Amino acid sequence: MKNFLEQWFSVGTNKKTKLIKYLEINSYLYMFLGLSICIYPTFLSSIGLFPEVIGREIGLLQVIGFTLFLIGYFYFFGARTRKKSFCLATIFDRLILVPIVLVFIVATDSLEFDFILPFLILDPLLALGALYIWRSEE
**Which of the four pLDDT bands, split at 50, 70 and 90, describes residue 1?**
confident
Query: Considering the chain, what is the average pLDDT of its residues?
Result: 91
DSSP structural state of residue 94: I
Cα–Cα distance, 104 to 123 (Å, whole number): 16
Average of pLDDT values for 27-49? 90
Average of pLDDT values for 57-86? 93
Domain ranges of the chain: 16-137
pTM listed for this prediction: 0.87
How many angstroms separate the Cα of 26 from the Cα of each of 30, 32, 78, 107, 129?
A: 6, 10, 11, 28, 10
All residues at 6 or more sequence positions from 52 whose CB lies less than 8 Å from its CB, including other chains: 45
Cα–Cα distance, 29 to 121 (Å, whole number): 14
Whether the pLDDT of residue 33 is over 80: the answer is yes
